[in-house]
Amino acid sequence: MLGKLSRNLWARRCGTLGLRSCPSVSTWSPLATAFNTKPHTRLNITKNDTGLFGISALTNPEGFYLLKENAIHRTDELIEEATREKRSRKMVEIFDELSDTLCKVADLAEFVRLSHPHVKFLHAAEDACISISGIVEKLNTDRELYRVLKAVVDSGDAFPTNPVDDHVAELFLFDFEQSGIHLEEKLRRRVVHLNECILQLGQRFMAGAITPRVVDKEVLPENIRHFFTRKGDKIEVASLFAESTNAKAREAAFRLFLYPDQRQDQLLTDILAARHELATICGFPTYAHRALKSSTVEKPDTVREFLEILTEGLRPRAEEDFRQMAQMKRQENQMSTELAAWDTPYYTAKLKKELLQVNAKEFAPYFSLGACMEGLNTVTTSLYGIHLENTEMQPGEAWNTDIYKLAVVHESEGTLGYIYCDFFERHGKPNQDCHFTIQGGKRLPDGTYQPPIVVIMLNLQQPRWSGPTLLTPSMVDNLFHEMGHAMHSMLARTEYQHVTGTRCSTDFAEIPSVLMEYFAADPRVLATFARHYQTHEPMPQDMLNRLCASKFLFTASETQLQVFYSALDQAYHGDPAEQGTSTTDTLRQLQERYYGLPYVNATAWQLRFSHLIGYGAKYYSYLVSRAVASSIWHTFFAKDPLSRAQGERYRREFLSFGGGVPSGKLVGDFLQCGVTPQILAKNLIEEVDANSETIRHLTERK
């Protein structure tokens, strides 16, 4: 470990919060010390480089060629085994090894392609991605391979199987059929063509969604031009300026940034048309039906009913949020117009600042990166008996000099897996917080377990010479969210890597990560680690309470906005006959129905909605996963967020299955209730009401 300080724990009771004595650290633990110190490359005199992620072939970029060739050779052997007349094991085991062989190269190469700072490694990884994609395309056209799998799914295997085996085999078959292999050759080729078109059009749409709007400076009034980037006689509008204190600047940015773009609109129209044709060729009524197959909710009708119930419940509550914002706007300027879409982020931030009584940045000294990692360690130790151990890497194991490696160690089961932490911003690195699977966990033939390996990627500022990296409250939320994904990968002890951890439906994969946000919003949990990085003083209790309460501001209107986004996504991927004359016409109609603020003429917000590409017909997953996570939190953890008994139950009965059990059944069994639209909507409405009550009590005390 990098840190040399010994652990010194002492108990501090959380007063009126009702939690049993919980650990609070008076000096930094080795884990906190390590993350409060920038990693550095140790001088390597005697050792040879071990290669990226400890893979000996990857001491240099050419190693990707060897990995690719080995994968091709093993793939050929597995295809021969699957299609021979007599087999010695289950068909699903052969397919999972086939999937694992390809994923080990593809997932690794995709991460290196996106993240490695050296061009030669990046190009070699990209070539490997292309090669593996070619192999997958070849497999997707292997009708004999499809035939033997379908025979097993339809008629049973020659070897005894269990429900998990059958479920995973069906998932493999569905993946096969998404490429149209079960269709006649002409239609199959059309499916391949449509998939390629959707990919290329999506990439162009994504690029256009973040492209700044450039206009002549005369378009803007002179008194607000200074808010924007000037380039000669042009002005660049790169965002919505949502939290600007100037109402005219907010309005101008909103209208210009969201002004309709004909090329972008055509791209979206073509994508939606291609997706619909793809779905209907493959036997689905709409693309939404195709996207929701094997999800937690399973059918678009269920999503639609959920959104309708939620809309009715949210409407009066969101109206109250908007009434408060409108009152704040009038207090600022008696001559101001009605509340508009460009106002809501600004007044939410303003009220949050007033409620917190201090700038959000003043919380950051209590959230050093080391302190936050210690907090995560407290949660995992308390709930699962698992500690996060900073581990020294071998020379050449990391792709950059500022990477940490965590061993995830259970008190009796030993090391479960590894989490690489790529936390700091650097040139060329994707500007998003995310979780990558490098190697999925699975049961090996000799009975041992292939350990999961993942990467958590953040974009934090580098540590300063005078102190550690400090996180804002929203950064803490993001860290806990991504660690929720990572722990799902670590704790899902599945037989098959095809369904390990986050390899499950989107509306299920987000539940563990969203649940971790509840821990980050609980003052009892924050009290275990929020300490000033210089004085080591804990964050005052009142400050903790105000911070946690601030996360609950205007949740009704924010949830209503998410309902509108979800409804729009479902409509775009539903029956074209039920849509408007254009994507903007559809948006206008749905905004009137699902959102409390009116559509702004001559805007096309959907053309900036990049989630339509990566989450096509699945954006509802945010709401469903939050509804389920809310129920899990209130049922198992609200009374005691560090309960070992409840943590063990959550691990054994929920996380351990990964995607190996149909997610709707898994959620229903764990919560002992059906996953119905009524129950899901009820969970979110009750949470909105509880959040409003928390805010009311806090403001009354002020």
**Is 510 in the active site?**
no
- Both tokens of residue 544? 């903790």
Judge residue 20's burial from the number of C-beta atoms within 10 Å of its C-beta, 0-12 exposed, 13-18 middle, 19 or more buried. Answer: exposed
Decide: helix, strand or coil at residue 504: coil
Give the span between the Cα atoms of 506 and 491, in whole angstroms: 18
| 404 bridge partner residues | 421
Neighbours of 308 (CB within 10 A): 16
**DSSP type of residue 366:** G
Output Rg (C-alpha) for the chain, integer angstroms.
26
Listing DSSP states for 232-279 in one string gives: TTEEEE-S--TT-S-HHHHHHHHHHHTS--HHHHHHHHHHHHHHHHHH
Phi, psi of 445 (to 5 degrees): -55, -30
Give the span between the Cα atoms of 10 and 26, in whole angstroms: 7
Residues contacting 359, CB < 8 A, separation 6+: 353
Listing DSSP states for 541-588 in one string gives: HHHHHHHHHHTTTTHHHHHHHHHHHHHHHHHHTS-GGGS-SSHHHHHH
Give the span between the Cα atoms of 650 and 383, in whole angstroms: 9
Q: Are 438 and 454 in contact (CB under 8 A)?
A: yes
Number of Cα atoms under 13 Å in the Cβ half of residue 461: 11
Helix (H) or strand (E) run with residue 442 in it:
strand 442-443
Residue of 482, 495, 558, 687 with catalytic role: 482
- Both tokens of residue 287? 């693309």
Give the span between the Cα atoms of 594 and 566, in whole angstroms: 10
Number of Cα atoms under 13 Å in the Cβ half of residue 504: 34
Helix axes 583-594, 300-332, angle to 10 degrees: 70
Decide: helix, strand or coil at residue 349: helix
Buried b (16+ CB within 10 A) or exposed e, 571-603: bbbbeeeebeeebbebbbebbeebbbbeebeeb
| 79 bridge partner residues | none
Q: How far is CA 255 from CA 107, 184, 269, in A?
A: 40, 48, 22
Number of Cα atoms under 13 Å in the Cβ half of residue 306: 30
| 368 bridge partner residues | 470
Q: How far is CA 326 from CA 50, 81, 191, 560, in A?
A: 61, 68, 50, 17
Helix (H) or strand (E) run with residue 323 in it:
helix 300-332
- Both tokens of residue 682? 């009820």
**Helix, strand, coil distribution of the chain in percent, nearest 5:** 60, 10, 35
Residues contacting 578, CB < 8 A, separation 6+: 571
- What single-letter amino acid sits at 162? N
User: Any idea which residues carry the catalytic annotation?
Assistant: 482
